[in-house]
Amino acid sequence: MKTRENYPHIPEIHVESSINLLLRRAKENRTTPLEEYVTTGGYSALEKALKRLTPEDIVVLVEESTLRGRGGAGFPTGRKWRFALSNPPPRYLICNADESEPGTFKDRIIIERDPHLLLEGMAISAYALGVNEAYIYIRGEYPAGYQILEDAIRDAEEAGYLGENILGTDFSLKIYVYRGAGAYICGEETALIESIEGKRGHPRLRPPYPANEGLFGRPTVVNNVETLSNIPIIVTYESYFMNIGPSGFYGPKLFPISGKVEKPGVYESTMDITLRELIEMAGGMKDGKKFKAVFSGALGVYSKRDLDTPMDYSPKGFGGTGTTIVLDEDDCIIDSLIVIANFFHHESCGKCTPCRVGTYEQHNLLKKFQEGTATEQDLNLLKHLAKNIPIGSICGLGFSAPQAIADAIKKYPEEFEAHLRGECPAGVCF
């Protein structure tokens, strides 16, 4: 049995949970070994699924659970599965562990501390989807996670939880771990599929959707780590799952919180928690400073007025990854947007011109605000780009590239006006 010392160094990351579902074995900075996973109830959901439920039963449970994708887009998982099931086998299941949205570090906690929860979720999902070959696509920057998963799969195969004839049934599953190599775009499902096929990570035109033609042209389901880790919980709890959290947004959710809070870390909660409560859970604002804004990854900017919004999948909520980067009074909105804009410019794969050139222009225009050379026209250009980059791009990266900027223009017009006058309210720029 390998201990943590055998893997590359992983420092302590703070983890807290009010409901102890996804994170029940992940409180400490250690990897839960198979034996401990099993003695604490692990792989019992897989046994129940294989021996007492049909694949259709599981799909219905997932549909009823209202589970939605935890990777960003928030697409209903059950519906995604149905699409794939309407196509004949062989089908593939891919676990998207290419977590690289700025401020997102929740999936790594499951991978590094409780890898068997993910593997059990994948095994049950594969059974439900009629899949015999599955992939975990893990980002290259998680070398420890890669080794932990490889070891966990080997242990599970030896114990009969994965591999041939799982638990004595006629269901077999091979899970491959595939490493990315530092391209954010590979978190986009079609780019990820291209990457697993050994190519550059360029997104594909849709349709056809992966559920119809995905990996090697076969029906493919791509689900996030946290989404798949919910499956054993759903199978165990069945209708009791609907007692966890608010109506329509059932189940546990992980919230990675970073920035200016006292205790940054990964927090597990139900989705009725508000942004204000979440910040309080993370120990409140750092050094008692005043709250300024939250960047939800690269996807949106939330202001004081959103503090009492529940963190669910409703249009006003956070949805998706639950990423929360907190800014205080000393931080500048423009300065932060520049970091995000630079990120998108760097990570645009270059396939669609509006994204490739648009993200570059966004960065340049914001720089002008920081340097004090921006004009009213530059602000209009930013708005124009925010409208047109998504229209002219084929994937989620182009769609989300201007979101934070568009949000900030709407919610913090005074910041832009001040910078036009040559003033930075936080005293960061100029």
Amino acid at 194: E
Q: Closer CB to another protein, residue 186 or residue 233?
A: 186
78 φ/ψ sector (left φ>0, alpha ψ -120 to 50, else beta): alpha
Closest separation in Å from C-beta 222 to another protein: 17
User: Does 104 interact with another protein (rule: CB under 8 A)?
Assistant: yes
Q: Which stretch binds another protein (CB under 8 A): 30-38, 52-60, 99-107, 369-377?
A: 99-107
* Choice from 158, 181, 376, 388 touching another protein (CB under 8 A): 181
User: Does 200 interact with another protein (rule: CB under 8 A)?
Assistant: yes
Give the integer Cα–Cα distance in Å for 333 and 277: 23
Give the integer Cα–Cα distance in Å for 196 and 378: 41
User: Does 163 interact with another protein (rule: CB under 8 A)?
Assistant: no
Closest separation in Å from C-beta 342 to another protein: 8
Q: Which stretch binds another protein (CB under 8 A): 60-68, 105-113, 116-124, 314-322?
A: 105-113
User: Does 288 interact with another protein (rule: CB under 8 A)?
Assistant: no
Closest separation in Å from C-beta 324 to another protein: 10
User: Does 102 interact with another protein (rule: CB under 8 A)?
Assistant: yes
Q: Closer CB to another protein, residue 65 or residue 258?
A: 258
Q: Which of 26, 178, 187 is nearest to 104 (CA)?
A: 187
| Dihedral (Cα; 327, 346, 141, 103), 10-degree rounding | 20
Computed over its alpha carbons, how large is the radius of gyration of the chain? 22
Q: Closer CB to another protein, residue 8 or residue 41?
A: 8
- Give the interface size with another protein as a residue count (CB under 8 A): 59
* Choice from 55, 180, 219, 319 touching another protein (CB under 8 A): 180
* Choice from 213, 268, 347, 407 touching another protein (CB under 8 A): 347
* Choice from 2, 154, 316, 346 touching another protein (CB under 8 A): 346
Closest separation in Å from C-beta 282 to another protein: 9
* Choice from 162, 211, 278, 325 touching another protein (CB under 8 A): 325
Q: How far is CA 27 from the centre of its chain?
A: 20
Is residue 128 within 8 Å of residue 232, measured between CB atoms? no
Positive or negative CA dihedral for 26, 184, 382, 372? positive
User: Does 315 interact with another protein (rule: CB under 8 A)?
Assistant: no
User: Does 213 interact with another protein (rule: CB under 8 A)?
Assistant: no
Closest separation in Å from C-beta 34 to another protein: 21
Within 10 A of 6 (CB to CB), how many other CB atoms are there?
A: 12
Give the integer Cα–Cα distance in Å for 271 and 39: 29
User: Does 331 interact with another protein (rule: CB under 8 A)?
Assistant: yes
Binding mask 118-147 for another protein (x = CB under 8 A): ---------------x-----xxxxxx---
Give the integer Cα–Cα distance in Å for 60 and 425: 53
Within 10 A of 89 (CB to CB), how many other CB atoms are there?
A: 13
User: Does 241 interact with another protein (rule: CB under 8 A)?
Assistant: no
Amino acid at 318: F
Give the integer Cα–Cα distance in Å for 318 and 302: 9
Is residue 228 within 8 Å of residue 118, measured between CB atoms? yes
Is residue 102 within 8 Å of residue 343, measured between CB atoms? yes
Q: Helix crossing, 115-129 with 55-64: angle to 10°?
A: 110
Q: Closer CB to another protein, residue 11 or residue 88?
A: 11
* Choice from 343, 369, 412, 416 touching another protein (CB under 8 A): 343
Amino acid at 61: L
Residues making contact with another protein (CB under 8 A): 8-14, 99-105, 107-108, 133, 139-144, 176, 178-184, 195-201, 216, 256-260, 264-266, 295, 325, 327, 331, 335-336, 339-340, 343, 346-347, 349
